[in-house]
Amino acid sequence: MSNDVSIEPATIEDLPALTDLVVDLLGLQDDFTPDPVLQEMGLRLILEEPARGRIIVIRNQDRILGMANLLFTVSTAMGGFVLIMEDVIIHPDYRGQGLGTKLLDEVITFARQKKFLRITLLADKLSSDSQAFFQRNGFRFSTLIPMRLIMQP
């Protein structure tokens, strides 16, 4: 199965499938309440303005199997451009086939080609499986901890 896949940037036509994946992902996390309208709005903001980031998808001929959301920013600590990687998910029906590793390899290749200096991600504290996956692929824990202030509309 995993040999018959392609990895490429998402397009606006992919928005419904991407929204479904992000809604599923947020349903697994305690910090978020899934809202398809909000998830679609956020994804659209990225897809419609490539300077903000890229959404990389892995697909077979029938459907999107997974995605990674890459947001572009600048790090003063690194002195250059860095990626914030969010929404990394493989559809549950396709996990355990090496697709996540293929997707992550493509993200790392993209980052190197574009001369990004770091990839930062937030892994779910409650999911030791996702943490172990990222560690197997070279990511290390930081001594920094996330903090946030939610701005209500």
Which CATH number is correct for 2-136, 3.40.50.300, 3.40.630.30, 3.10.180.10, 3.20.20.210? Answer: 3.40.630.30
Domain boundaries, the chain: 2-136
- The runs of H, that is alpha helices, within the chain are 15-26, 36-47, 99-113, 128-136
pLDDT for the residue 102: 97
pLDDT for the residue 122: 84
Give pLDDT tens digits for 9-27.
Answer: 999 999 999 999 999 888 8
Distance CA 101, CA 94 (A): 12
Give pLDDT tens digits for 119-128.
Answer: 999 877 767 8
The percent of residues above 70 in pLDDT, for the chain, comes to 97
Query: What is the rounded average pLDDT of the residues 36-47?
Result: 96
Statement: the pTM of the whole predicted model exceeds 0.95: no
Query: What is the rounded average pLDDT of the residues 100-111?
Result: 97
